[in-house]
Structure formats: structure tokens, C-alpha cells
């Protein structure tokens, strides 16, 4: 008798249908010690806020103008501001997003595990959820770079633009990597929560020292696993109710202590004062930011929970969440296209050093959000790969699922090691296509089709 695959449950990634529907549930307080709560709408609010903050930051980093000779010049206006470095201590939200992803992944995997899913099933859902939407981006970039090359576009400008479009893929690579490890990292957490956290922190510190001693970026990139795994563990602790079980004064002290330790690392010269620089490669300072950010999220949870009690706020969060991955992946190409188009229209491209450029950013942000919303409809078909397999279909073998995860990770990790270019865009298109094909559900065998029963709902 054919064992039917249970319809896919909560996938834990921003934009999943189940996540979006859950935004309309009653607001709970912060997850308390011993709680088995599966939903925390404040987490959804925080994740959407993180993505919107990234979009705003990237928008302020793309300055396009013309020099006296009429040649296109690219700049990063926000990085030239005296307050920029200080702002990165607040605006660096990678640790918070990874921790929140750990929370949703832990609750998702625990429920799916109880219903009979395997670790391979979880890896498959994560690979499809994160890699399938990246496929059209690689394909579009590859096509655009071929056209630009044939048109003999300035190779420096072409490569700079391609590298900028590939910036969001850094995060996607690191996030997919640690999400695929959730079944095993959560098992370690459940067996020895403190020991696992200490081991990951120790390993990250060792890599940090080795990177500092050798000056090798490649050595530092090993911390994609250890730093990413550490902040993901904070989400596991949040799911277990550890943060919710602390008093408000304790949370405040923990946050202040974490920031102070991060500053000591900067003062000692081990880490850059710019927290965005500490992302590539990841450093221990990001782990400390994660501790502070999760403590502050819990500290302000009551106020954020009241905010999420508003029907209009929940609807707005749900709307953005339903398109969050598309927004994250496509905002940079849209920003680049809008910036380039503005050069063709007189008066719409003030120099990034002018006050008019800054005043116009809210309008440009609105245009970016509208354009991404419009293109999210044709791109939605790639999100449908995440949906449950039809009743009677066969899931891929565990070997095929693991191979698909590797094929999906290779081009994404390659973007970290080298900038996105034509060769990598083409290779990414091929490898991601293969990964999605391997993870697609198979039709039932003819001799088994007769035995298929309706899937449980």
C-alpha cells in the first residue's frame, strides 16, 4: 500500500500561506517558559519590519548620477553620512531575522515530526521555499547580462550592477544553510541546550581568531554555520519560553551587556565598528547583537502585541508577509531599473549629494514597493512549488532531497565567495532548475494509483 504524503504544514518562512492566515489569530503574549504555543504574531511583525528595513537601507545605498562627461557614476550615499556607522548597530537585523527564523522552524519541525515527517521532508520544504523563488532571479539576471554583453555595455558598470543585485543572495545562502540543518541542530538543542549554545559560540570564536590571525575572508566564512547556527539557537530558546520567562529588568541587563561586549570587540580592533562590515564574513559581534535583539524584542513584546491587536496592522503585516520573499529578492533589481530609468528623464535624477535626492527617497520607495507588488503575481507560480504534493503523489527519495539542497546551495554560496556575474548567473539558473526538479513530487506508479486514498486534511 502506498504511504501517502501528509499535506504540507507550517513551513515557517515569511510569506507562507499558513503564516499569513495566522496573522489574524488573537494576539498572545511572549512565549513563556514551558509554553507549547505555535504562534506569536509579534514575530511576524518583526520579520516583516526586518525585510522592509533592508529594502530601505539598500535604497539609500544606491546612488546613480552623471559625471561632467555624461558617464554614469554609482555611489553609496548613506555610507557617506556621519551617523551611518552608529545606525548599523540598530539596522543590522540579520541576527534578529535568523533568530526569528529559528523560532518558526522549531515550532514547525516539532509539529511535523510529531505527525510523522522525516528530516528529509523538512529539508525539502525549506529548499523549495527558499530556492525556487530565486530561480527566476538568476534566469533574469543571466538574460540581462547576456544582452548587456552583446550590446557592449561598460563592463565595469555591468559587473558592478550585477554584484549589487546579488547582494540579497548572501543572506539567502546563509539562511537556507542553517534552515536545512534545523532537524539536527534542534535535536542537539533538545538534548543539551546550554552545551549546544556554548559549543557553537566557542567554534565561532575560534574561527574569528583564525580569521583575525590570517586575515583570510575565506576562513571567516566558516562562521556562516557557527554564527548563523548560534543566532538560530536563540530562536529555539525563544520557542522554549526562556526569554519569555525572564523579568523585564533581566532582559534589559542582558541587552546592555551584549551590546557592551560587542563594543569591547570593536574597541580591541577585532571587529569593525560598522556592523554591516561584520556580516562578511560573520563575526562574534553578530551573535552578541542577536542576544541583545531577542532580549529587546521580548522586553517590548507587550507594546508590539497591542499593536498587532489592531485588525488593520495585522492585515498590513499579512499583506507584506505574503510577498516578503519576492520583495526581498527583487527589490534590488527594481531599484536599479528605476534609478537607470530616472537618468533618461530630465529632472528625475538629482545628484545623490543633493537634498532633493534624499527628499525623493520616500517616493522612490513607494514606487519600488508598487512595482514589486505587480511583478509578484507572475512570480507567484514559483511559490506554488511549496504547496503540498497532490494526493497520491510520491515524494522524492531522501538522497534526491539532499542532493537538491546541495545543488541549491552551491550557486547561492558561490555568490558569497565571488560576485554575481554572467557565468554564475547561468550556472545558478541550471543548478536551481535541477534542484527544483529533484524536489518536485512524482506521479504515483500505475500499479499503486489504484490504492491511493484521499489525503488527510
R_g (Cα) of the chain, nearest Å: 22
Distance (Å, whole) CA 392 – CA 4: 6
Q: Write out the three cell numbers for 223.
A: 562562521
- Return the pLDDT at 383: 67
0.75 surpassed by pTM: yes
* CA-angle at 16, arms to 15 and 21, nearest 5°: 95
Q: Are 212 and 256 in contact (CB under 8 A)?
A: no
Question: How many CB atoms sit inside 10 A of residue 138's CB?
Answer: 26
Distance (Å, whole) CA 103 – CA 88: 24
- Return the pLDDT at 344: 78
- Return the pLDDT at 347: 64
Provide the b/e sequence for 84-109 (b: ≥16 CB within 10 Å). Answer: bbeebbebbbbbbbbbbbbbbbbbbb
Cα–Cα separations (whole angstroms), residue 421 to 43, 75, 81, 120, 279 = 35, 20, 30, 32, 21
Q: Write out the three cell numbers for 361.
A: 527617497
Give pLDDT tens digits for 379-419. Answer: 887 766 555 556 566 788 899 999 999 999 999 999 998 88
Best CA proximity match to 329, nearest among 431, 440, 176, 181: 176
Distance (Å, whole) CA 449 – CA 386: 23
Prior bond to 281 cis, omega within 30? yes
- Return the pLDDT at 381: 76
Residues of the chain whose pLDDT is less than 50?
1-27, 33-36, 452-457
SS (H, E, C) the chain: CCCCCCCCCCCCCCCCHHHHHHCCCCCCCCCCCCCCCCCCHHHHHHHHHHHHHHHHHHHHHCEEEECCCCCEEEECHHHHCCCHHHHHHHHCCHHHHHHHHHHHHHHHHHHHHHCCCCHHHHHHHHHHHHHCCHHHHHHHHHHHHHHHHHCCCCHHHHHHHHHHHCHHHHHHHHHHHHHHCHHHHHHHHHHCHHHHHHHHHHHHHHHHHHHHHHCCHHHHCCHHHHHHHHHHHHHHHHHHCCCCCCCHHHHHHHHHHHHHHHHHHHHCCCCCCCCCCCECCECHHHHHHHHHHHHHHHHCHHHHHHHHCCHHHHHHHHHHHCCHHHHHHHHHHHHHHHHHHHCCCCCCCCCCCCHHHHHCHHHHHHHHHHHHHHHHHHHHHHHHHHCCCCCCCECCCHHHHHHHHHHHHHHHHHHHHCCCCHHHHHHHHHHHHHHHHHHCCECCCHHHHCCCCCCCC
Q: Write out the three cell numbers for 349.
A: 535624477
Amino acid at each position: 500500500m502506498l504511504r501517502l504524503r501528509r499535506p504540507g504544514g507550517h513551513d515557517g518562512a515569511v510569506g507562507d500561506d499558513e503564516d499569513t492566515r495566522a496573522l489574524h489569530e488573537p494576539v498572545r503574549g511572549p512565549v513563556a517558559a514551558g509554553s507549547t504555543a505555535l504562534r506569536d504574531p509579534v514575530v511576524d511583525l518583526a520579520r516583516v519590519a526586518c525585510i522592509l528595513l533592508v529594502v530601505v537601507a539598500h535604497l539609500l545605498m544606491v546612488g546613480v548620477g552623471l559625471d561632467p562627461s555624461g558617464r554614469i557614476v554609482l555611489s553609496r550615499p548613506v555610507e557617506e553620512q556621519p551617523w551611518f556607522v552608529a545606525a548599523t548597530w540598530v539596522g543590522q537585523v540579520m541576527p534578529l531575522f535568523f533568530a526569528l527564523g529559528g523560532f518558526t522552524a522549531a515550532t514547525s519541525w516539532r509539529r511535523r515530526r510529531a505527525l510523522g515527517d522525516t528530516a528529509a521532508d523538512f529539508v525539502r520544504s525549506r529548499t523549495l521555499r527558499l530556492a525556487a523563488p530565486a530561480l527566476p532571479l538568476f534566469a533574469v539576471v543571466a538574460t540581462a547580462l547576456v544582452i548587456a554583453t552583446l550590446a557592449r555595455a561598460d563592463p565595469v558598470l555591468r559587473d558592478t550592477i550585477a554584484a549589487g543585485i546579488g547582494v540579497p543572495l548572501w543572506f539567502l545562502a546563509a539562511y537556507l544553510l542553517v534552515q536545512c540543518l534545523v532537524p539536527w541542530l534542534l535535536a542537539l538543542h533538545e538534548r543539551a541546550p546550554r552545551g549546544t549554545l556554548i559549543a557553537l559560540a566557542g567554534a565561532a570564536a575560534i574561527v574569528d581568531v583564525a580569521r583575525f590571525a590570517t586575515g583570510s575572508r575565506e576562513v571567516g566564512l566558516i562562521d556562516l554555520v557557527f554564527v548563523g547556527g548560534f543566532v538560530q539557537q536563540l530562536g529555539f530558546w525563544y520557542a522554549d519560553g526562556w526569554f519569555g520567562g525572564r523579568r523585564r529588568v533581566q532582559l534589559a541587563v542582558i541587552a546592555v551587556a551584549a551590546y557592551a561586549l560587542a563594543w569591547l570587540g570593536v574597541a580591541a580592533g577585532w571587529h569593525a565598528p560598522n556592523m554591516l562590515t561584520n556580516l562578511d564574513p560573520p563575526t562574534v559581534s553578530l551573535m552578541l547583537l542577536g542576544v541583545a535583539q531577542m532580549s529587546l524584542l521580548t522586553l517590548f513584546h507587550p507594546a508590539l502585541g497591542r499593536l498587532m491587536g489592531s485588525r488593520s496592522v495585522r492585515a498590513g503585516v499579512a499583506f507584506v508577509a505574503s510577498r516578503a520573499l519576492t520583495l526581498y529578492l527583487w527589490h534590488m533589481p527594481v531599484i536599479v531599473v528605476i534609478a537607470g530609468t530616472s537618468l533618461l528623464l530630465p529632472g528625475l535624477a538629482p545628484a545623490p549629494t543633493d537634498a532633493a535626492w534624499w527628499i525623493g527617497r520616500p517616493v522612490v520607495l513607494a514606487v519600488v514597493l508598487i512595482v514589486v507588488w505587480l511583478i509578484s503575481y507572475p512570480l507567484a507560480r514559483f511559490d506554488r512549488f511549496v504547496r503540498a504534493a497532490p494526493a497520491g503523489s510520491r515524494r522524492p527519495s531522501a538522497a534526491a532531497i539532499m542532493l537538491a539542497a546541495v545543488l541549491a546551495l552551491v550557486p547561492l554560496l558561490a555568490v558569497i565567495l565571488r560576485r554575481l556575474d554572467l557565468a554564475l548567473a547561468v550556472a545558478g539558473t541550471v543548478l536551481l532548475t535541477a534542484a527544483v526538479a529533484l524536489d518536485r513530487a512524482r506521479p504515483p506508479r500505475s500499479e499503486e494509483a489504484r490504492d491511493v486514498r484521499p489525503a488527510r486534511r
